[in-house]
Amino acid sequence: MKTLYKILAVAIIITTGYGCEKELSAPPKNAKVEGNTIIDQATSQIALNGAYYNFANATNIKTGWQMHQILPAEFAGYIGYGFGSFGEELNITKGASGTFWNESYRALNAANGVIAGVNALSDNAFSGNRKKEILAEAKFIRAYAHFKILSYYAEWYKINSTQGVLLRDELSTLTNILKKRSTVKESYDFILADLDEAIANGPASNPNHYATKWAAMALKMRVLINRGQSGDYASVIQLADQIMQNPAYELEASQQNLFRVAGLASKEVILGIKPQALQASDPYSKTRQYWPSASSLYVATLALKNLYTDDPRQGWIIGPATPYQQYSPNTTFFTKYVAVGSSPTALTETDYVLRLTEVYLLKAEAIVRSGGNLTDARTLVHTIQQKGGLTATNAPYIAVTTAGTPAALLVEIYKETSRSMVAEDGSEWMALLRLPFDTVKALKPTITSQIQYIIPVPQTEFVYNPQFGEQNTGYNAN
């Protein structure tokens, strides 16, 4: 299997009420959702590719990863709409209800199909450890999808909350579609169990547009830093050390070089999304959404520009002022992925799920949160800043150096997370929400209630699944 998304036949694509016709291209006529399409190792791999296809939210034209970049950055205040403003920029979340829901359930449903089909086969139908590896990759996809739902549609920040995830552990059919949402604790436990298996049995090496045990470790770091229970921060540090000691991964010497030259060839990328073959020619490609514009134009806000004050990254991430200042004042072109005036390419269309930079920053945060040595945490943050071109004379670098308390250093880690990882996969948004609520309100004044941390469950869920349970606090269930 040379690429991630080319094989659609026999792939497992959900066709239940979670689908949305305008968001998912029609499957081929011979596509099935039954596990009996998996009869040997070859068809298991085809089905797994179908799960990756759904993980990338792909169509035969392009991968649909851009909302992973845009929505969290809008919530955090760093990305805006170039012809006005969306409610998401003001943390009015209701309009975002379906953004991650449909794609996540398609991905985990496809993964469940792989898991069921592969488990039904005998071990001797596979060569070596491939059966365990396929199951581990599928469980990584399922864990990622469940965690995405937990992070945006559940009270992930309240371990005892009843408003957790609607866990799907089997292929959805008309007979099992009715199910109640789980608690937050149950959601974390299920996700971590999948990740533990992905770590134990996942491939040690793979092209970096496929999952590995290392990607599962990095994703587990995200899960644990959010859960924040006893022992979680120590585990984050241990996982970080394992990844950082792996010679297969290395920080890119220049952050600009990663996005403008290396792409998925960089040893820093733990997991990326490879674009479709003809994606760059799509008139509504991701690149054209940023520069020079398309029908939907996403731009950098003044808050993002100010975040890069005295930071050399401002020179290549923040472009010139947009021409629509009367609609969106003080906005500039967002040029992280594509230089001003350049055309879309496979490189500019590439997406990044997990990078080594995040591992460093999560380790720094875990050190601070666990009462560890602040100097050790500062060293990790400074290492990332140096890859961005900063020196000890730049204001953001000095701010980390002089952050003399855990609270102050956590704010600086959040800011560096935003500078390094804005508009990738929500790291800037989640790092903000992990700060104390009073700090969150001070940094993002449009957030006045923790209700705004998450978005409502789509109303269609209550129509198709009346056993789901309660709507998220603060939102109307009707």
The one-letter amino acid code at 21 reads E
Between 304 and 20, the higher pLDDT residue? 304
- Quick one: pLDDT at residue 157? 98
The one-letter amino acid code at 216 reads A
- Quick one: pLDDT at residue 478? 53
Flag whether pLDDT at 31 surpasses 80.
no
Percent of the chain at pLDDT above 90? 83
Burial 258-287 (b: 16+ CB within 10 A, else e): bbbebbbebbbbbbbbbbbeebbebeebbb
The mean pLDDT of 270-279, rounded to a whole number, is 95
The mean pLDDT of 280-299, rounded to a whole number, is 86
For 425-438, the pLDDT digits (tens) are 999 999 999 999 99
For the residues of 229-288, what is the DSSP string, one character each? -TTHHHHHHHHHHHHHT-TT----S-HHHIIIIIGGGSTTEEEEEPPPTTGGG-TT-HHH
Residue 235 has a CB neighbour count (10 Å cut-off) of 18
> Helix, strand, or coil here: 101?
helix
Q: What's the chain's average pLDDT?
A: 91
Flag whether pLDDT at 115 surpasses 90.
yes
Domain ranges of the chain: 275-349
The mean pLDDT of 65-81, rounded to a whole number, is 96
Element (H, E) at 298: strand 298-300
Task: Give the rounded distance of the alpha carbon of 59 from its chain centre.
Answer: 19
> Helix, strand, or coil here: 354?
strand
| Whole-Å CA distances, 88 to 53, 91, 386 | 27, 5, 32
Q: 52-56, 58-62, 169-173, 449-453: which range is least confident on average?
A: 169-173
Give residue 267's pLDDT band: very low, low, confident or very high (50, 70, 90): very high
The mean pLDDT of 64-87, rounded to a whole number, is 94
- Quick one: pLDDT at residue 22? 27
Flag whether pLDDT at 34 surpasses 50.
no
- Quick one: pLDDT at residue 138? 98
Cis peptide leading into residue 275 (ω within 30°): no
The mean pLDDT of 112-124, rounded to a whole number, is 96
The mean pLDDT of 70-99, rounded to a whole number, is 91
- Quick one: pLDDT at residue 173? 77
The mean pLDDT of 43-64, rounded to a whole number, is 95
Q: Classify residue 391 as left (phi > 0), alpha (psi -120 to 50) or beta.
A: beta
